[in-house]
Chain A
Amino acid sequence: MLQGCLDNLSIAQEALYNRFSPRMLGVCYRYARNREDAEDMLQEGFMKVYSQIHQYKGSGALEGWIRKIIVHTCINILKKNKKFSDSVDLIHASSIQISDNNIPSMLQAKQVVECIRLLPIGYRTVLNLYAIEGFSHKEISAILEIEESTSRSQYTRARGLLEEILIKKKILQKPRSNVRMVSINS
């Protein structure tokens, strides 16, 4: 399949796309405002994958390599339209209304993702990069062109807000006292 993509064979390219696109669209969906934007990010991401497929040396999983390209593509698209600042996100955070009608009944994973998407764009991006993608705050600050402290503060606020959303949706149990959050109910 990889060799076929290097030879620009449409069958191999389609096979690669069919294999990784569902999970990658899930990644894009966490960054985008809606599904259409997520698909646009996915399309542009895969175009970069095919154009840079010759750079993949085989070290590490192919999925991880593709995921990295997809994430950077999502970030680049967001950076064109959004500025990640505290003030903007605070305003957005205060305007979030959590109600039972926000998220219809769905599987657990999608519930969590939908809760993440309720966060403001800046909070959401930092949360995705730090908590899910595993970037450090230093890397995040370089990617988003923000201060490292801004990255830390935004993540702290994002996590707090996400917990509140998950508790409201009864996805997460409210701690009785000073017990630290352990895990999301599965």
Chain B
Amino acid sequence: MERRFDMSDFEQSLKDHADQFKLIPSKRVWNGIYNNLHPGSKWPSISVAIIFLITLITIGSLNNSPVGNKANVFAAINSEIQATGNSLSSGHNEIEKNNVEKKSTGQGFEKTDRALHNTSTGISSEKNISSKEKTPADRSVNENRSALNVQQLPSKTNAPVVKLYTGVSKNINQVLEKTSSSFLKPTGNSKSNINNETTAFSGLDNEITFIQYPFISFENNFAIPVANEKALYPDDASFKNFDLLNAPFIPKDTRLNSENKEIAKKPLKKKKNAEWTFYLTPLISNVSFDKKTIRPTSQNVSSIVVLANQAPSEVHLMHNAGFGLEAGADVAFYLSKKLKFVTGGKFNYSSYNHISNYIHPTFATLILNDKAGAYAQNYVTHYGNGQSNSRVPLTNYTLEAAIPLGLQYIVWKNGKIQIDLASAIEPSAILKGNAFIISSNGGYYINDASLIRTLNLAANFGSYITFSGRKIKWHIGPDFRYQLLSTYKNIYGSKEHFLDYGIRIGISK
């Protein structure tokens, strides 16, 4: 190009003004240039993200199969049963008729209880706490009271209050806790009392009837059902109409109510040098237990044992991983060139499933500890520990609102791609939850959401890849969350911690 030297002043002035003119190009221009110059650099990040997704799916599918925790559920009970003699091991079937007259609520229990007082030792039941009625059975109990450390326990049901023997006793009758003899004594062929449209068991009504199933008889005409799948599996029609299902004491199996409104939190004020990120994290939720407390000790005596013939002394408590979701917004403040302080707000839903099975409604006990000491809380349940057929999943979940407080460090960065490492502590408030808990003897699942903590604490770790677009940035990467405090309050001895892992997807400006 040959520069002309005969430019007029107008042209020179025009040129000077034009040369002064500058425009800042948008980021897409350099991104396009870089991608054309280095076409292979984007593929490692995409392939890493794909590997993360495949890993997550694989882990989720592997953890979806039932996982068992060994527990000596019936060790104490079985040892006592074996000690009583041959009548326990033969599978002797004997049905004992017990015609119960039509009486008002509670009286049916009284008559049957009196019969048991005369026939068994070491077991007594009282209609109310203040009653001082003594029976021959009570006298024998009193003789051993000091050794057995008998406690008078409060009961939350209308059923007769029972005495819980916390001491070790070799007498099977003392070991078993009787809350209602109706469970033990079927009516057998009580045809006159059987109503096909009504329930098989109507303990709180005037009539008590049972489905026939084999029992093992003890001395003194005391019997317990034999470990038998059919015995454990009630008739569908009768089971569904069972009145105790409507009993107020049985908490409803609440699910996440879609009508519940989320608690809205005010977003933080936007500050300078702050970067907002909105994200969504699909999760696989699992749980870890404190195994020591899963095993019931010999002191944890609870309700009726129905698996007297079960050979293995350990029973696997099974649970599945469940799906969860996390959604929230973070704001990051730059502390230095590579380090950022991160806070914000999020909602987290975590769940997992216990594998249970339907059983004949029964009483179960949970041993709790408060400042005054140990005490037992009774429940009525129709969920077993999953050892037989007709399995049913019981979902435990928590919905919580959390405020993450943490740091984010930029590991590597170029014009378009950035890799971060992040960690945070998340104090949280439990908004809603469901808790199916194994009973103290490990035989049943009971539902008591009041045992869930209201406040909790979690730790979060993540590694994210950031892709810078024209106007927004995309973040993707694995995310791991561990619940530091137990799901349940300290009065419940078992410790449970949620483990959530997923892929976080976010956008920021």
Q: A39-B28, A113-B21, A139-B1 are in contact. Are A8 and B9 (CB under 8 A)?
A: no
| Given A22-B24, A25-B24, CB of A39 within 8 Å of CB of B29 | yes
Q: Which of B11, B18, B30 contacts A113 (CB 8 A)?
A: B18
Scan residues 99-136 of chain A and give those whose CB is less than 8 A from a CB of chain B. Answer: 108-110, 112-113, 116, 128, 130-136
Evaluate contact between A184 and B1: CB separation under 8 angstroms: no
Question: Is A23 engaged at the interface, CB distance under 8 Å to the other chain?
Answer: yes
The reply to whether B15 and A132 contact each other, CB–CB distance below 8 Å, is yes
Closest chain-A Cβ to B192's Cβ sits at a distance in Å of 92
A109 x B20 contact (CB < 8 A): yes
Cα of A17 to Cα of B415 in the assembled complex, Å: 12
| Measured CA separation A184–B22 after assembly (Å) | 19
Look across to chain B and name the residue whose beta carbon is closest to the beta carbon of A30. B18
| Alpha-carbon distance A131/B14, docked complex (angstroms) | 7
CB contact list, B14-53 vs A, under 8 A: 14-15, 17-26, 28-30, 32-34, 36-38
In this complex, how many residues of chain B approach chain A with their Cβ under 8 Å: the count is 34
Known: A25-B25, A184-B13. A10 touches B37 (CB 8 A): yes
B interface secondary structure, majority: helix
Q: How large is the interface on A (under 10, 10 to 19, 20 to 34, 35 or more residues)?
A: 35 or more
The interface residues of chain B lying within 8 Å CB-to-CB of A109 are 17-18, 20-21
The SS class assigned to the A binding surface is helix
B258 contacts the other chain (CB 8 A)? no
Contact A181 B10 (CB under 8 A): yes
A152-186 CB mask vs B (1 if < 8 Å, else 0) is 00000001001100000000000000001111101
Chain A: minimal CB distance from B206 (Å): 86
Q: Does A150 contact B (CB under 8 A)?
A: no
Work out how many contacts link A and B, with CB atoms closer than 8 A.
Answer: 112
A66 on interface, CB distance cutoff 8 Å: no
Chain B nearest CB, measured from A42 CB (Å): 6
- Known contacts A131-B14, A183-B9; A29/B21 CB under 8 A: yes
Whether B17 pairs with A113 at a CB distance below 8 angstroms is: yes
Is B3's beta carbon under 8 Å from chain A?
yes
Given the complex of chains A and B, what is the CA–CA distance between A105 and B36 in angstroms? Answer: 38
Expressed in whole angstroms, the Cα–Cα distance for A43 and B7 within the complex equals 31
**Considering the chains assembled together, what is the distance between the CA atoms of A42 and B18 in angstroms?**
17
A26 engages B22 (CB within 8 Å): yes
Do B33 and A47 have beta carbons less than 8 Å apart? yes
A2-33: contact bitstring with B at CB < 8 Å (1 yes, 0 no)? 00000010100110010001110110011000
CB distance from A18 to the nearest CB of B (A): 8
CB-nearest residue of chain A to B34: A10
- What separation, in Å, do the CA atoms of A112 and B13 have in the docked complex? 10
Q: Is the CB of A131 within 8 A of B11?
A: yes
Tell me the residues in window 33-80 of chain A with beta carbons closer than 8 Å to chain B beta carbons: 35, 38-39, 42-43, 46-47, 50, 68
Give the shortest distance, in Å, between B17 (CB) and chain A (any CB).
4
Which of chain B's residues have a CB closer than 8 A to the CB of A39? 25-26, 28-29
Q: Looking at the complex, which one of B4, B9, B29, B38 makes contact with A21 (CB distance below 8 Å)?
A: B29
Contacts of A23 in B (CB 8 A): 19, 22
A42/B25 in contact, CB under 8 A: yes
Q: Which residues of A contact B13 (CB under 8 A)?
A: 183-184, 186
Q: Which residues from chain B contact A26 at a C-beta distance below 8 Å?
A: 18, 21-23
A50 close to B37 (CB less than 8 A):
yes
Given contacts A10-B414, A29-B21, 12 further A-B contacts (CB under 8 A): A26-B23, A39-B25, A42-B25, A43-B29, A112-B17, A113-B17, A113-B18, A116-B14, A131-B7, A131-B15, A132-B19, A183-B13
Which residues of B are in contact with A by a Cβ distance under 8 Å? 1-4, 7-15, 17-26, 28-30, 32-34, 36-38, 414-415
Q: Can you list the 3 inter-chain pairs with the closest CB atoms, starting with the nearest?
A: A183-B13, A22-B22, A109-B20
List 22 A–B pairs whose Cβ atoms lie within 8 Å, in order of A's numbering: A8-B37, A10-B37, A17-B33, A21-B25, A22-B23, A25-B23, A25-B24, A26-B18, A26-B21, A39-B29, A47-B37, A50-B37, A108-B17, A109-B17, A131-B11, A132-B14, A134-B2, A135-B2, A136-B2, A136-B4, A139-B1, A183-B10
